[in-house]
Structure 1
Amino acid sequence: MSSIRTIFWDIGGVLLTNGWDRHQRARVLGGLGVDLPDYESRHEAANFYWERGLSSARTFFDQTLFVHPRSFTFEDLWPRVCAESAILHPGSFEILKSLKDSGRYRQATLNNESRELNDHRLDAFALRPCFDYFICSGYVHVMKPHPDIYRAAVEISGLPAQSALFIDDKQENCEAAVALGMRAIRFDSSEQLRTSLADYGVAA
């Protein structure tokens, strides 16, 4: 039998598209006539606080976008930001739901995302029923690959680190999990994920 008892999932890149990456920013803000280099000059500094849940979406956009007069408001912008999220890997959803239905594992998120976008994505894509709890940078105020977010995940699980399996599309995030004693799968495709899970004795 598998020694895995908890499976932690990244969201952007494994299940869904990213929340607000540079391509999404270019589409949304470019379509609104925003000077993208001007916006990007402020994005990183403000995003440090937003993705860690230390500022709100409104504050983030006030600091990055509404420093100049605009022909649109935050209320006009936010639905466009949310609309950028989409299902990226339907096969990953099938695996996620199969593992949930099996009842053999606890499942949790372990992702970097602002609080507001994370809440939107969990609701819009009906993800909440698939997970037992949520470890999100916007909730715990620290981001992957910092060791503290993995430490929080293990401690909240109440189970040993070696019984946790983490799925993420970024190698550095997987390496950080392994350094804390967790197992990890670097995600490439849903087919590869199914095979890699089987290698750990997890049938999906």
Structure 2
Amino acid sequence: MDKNQSTAITTLFLDIGGVLLTNGWDRAARRRAAETFSLDLPETEERHHLTFDTYEEGKLTLDEYLDRTVFYEERSFERQTFKDFMYAQTEAYPDMIDLVCRIKKQYGIKIAIVNNEGRELNEYRIRKFGLDKFVDFFISSCFVHFRKPDADIFRMALDVALVKPEEVLYIDDRAMFVSVAEGLGINGFQHKNFEETSRFLGNLGWQ
């Protein structure tokens, strides 16, 4: 993608975890949970991997996910205590949020989120960190029942935003998901850190 193409870009598709916020419930967070609540980490990880995709697709509630992964046996702590811990794992990347907000304000770019996340975590993170204040569309797996790397989630995002693939720049920290989007003709960029992404966008003419 060269600088001249920036004039054709009308819409940014963004991931949340790893781009605007830290990951919500990743391996490191689950390890901290196992240490904090004295859980059997291998057992918790196995149960997580067997059921989390279904949760992210919006086919399980958070309580149902926890029934299968944590509260399948009696625990010494309350369910709400564990949920509060889950929510507390998220931190913002304020530089990235500010960058996206400035681009939207200055250039009139539409912003859409395309992410994999379960409903309760997704809604908490969106509201807690004010993503709904500048994002136009949320194409979250829990809302649309597709999850990356299924290309249909990107097709749905294109339909909702009413844009052609070549009008979109998609930013994600995972190379595979960027590659899937590029396979549909969407311009892609793998986010690694604020400095590289800021430089890339600046080279496109978005100062």
Q: If the TM-score is normalised by the length of the shorter chain, which range does it land in?
A: over 0.9
In the alignment, which residue of structure 2 is the partner of 1:12? 17
| 1:18-45 residue CA offsets vs partner (Å, 9 max, x unmatched) | 0101110111232111111121121111
In the alignment, which residue of structure 2 is the partner of 1:79? 84
Q: Do 1:4 and 1:200's aligned partners in 2 also have CA atoms closer than 8 Å?
A: no
| 1:75-131 residue CA offsets vs partner (Å, 9 max, x unmatched) | 1211110000012x3321121110222252100111111111110001111111110
In the alignment, which residue of structure 2 is the partner of 1:55? 60
Alignment of 1:1-204 (within 5 A): 2-87=7-92, 89-201=93-205, 203-204=206-207
Letter in 1 for 2:152: D
Q: 1:79 & 1:118 partners in 2: Cα distance?
A: 14
Q: 2:203 & 2:162 partners in 1: Cα distance?
A: 24
Q: 2:203 & 2:141 partners in 1: Cα distance?
A: 29
- Aligned Cα RMSD in Å? 1.3
Unaligned runs of 5+ in 2: 1-5
Letter in 2 for 1:42: R
Q: 1:40 & 1:159 partners in 2: Cα distance?
A: 39
Q: 1:110 & 1:187 partners in 2: Cα distance?
A: 14
Q: 2:113 & 2:63 partners in 1: Cα distance?
A: 25
Letter in 1 for 2:184: L
Unaligned runs of 5+ in 1: none
TM (norm. structure 2) is 0.93
TM (norm. structure 1) is 0.94
Q: 1:196 & 1:103 partners in 2: Cα distance?
A: 16
Q: 1:29 & 1:128 partners in 2: Cα distance?
A: 32
Letter in 2 for 1:6: T
Deviation, 1:193, is: 0.9
Deviation, 1:48, is: 1.4
Q: Do 1:100 and 1:131's aligned partners in 2 also have CA atoms closer than 8 Å?
A: no
Number of residue pairs aligned between Structure 1 and Structure 2: 202
Q: Do 1:14 and 1:169's aligned partners in 2 also have CA atoms closer than 8 Å?
A: yes
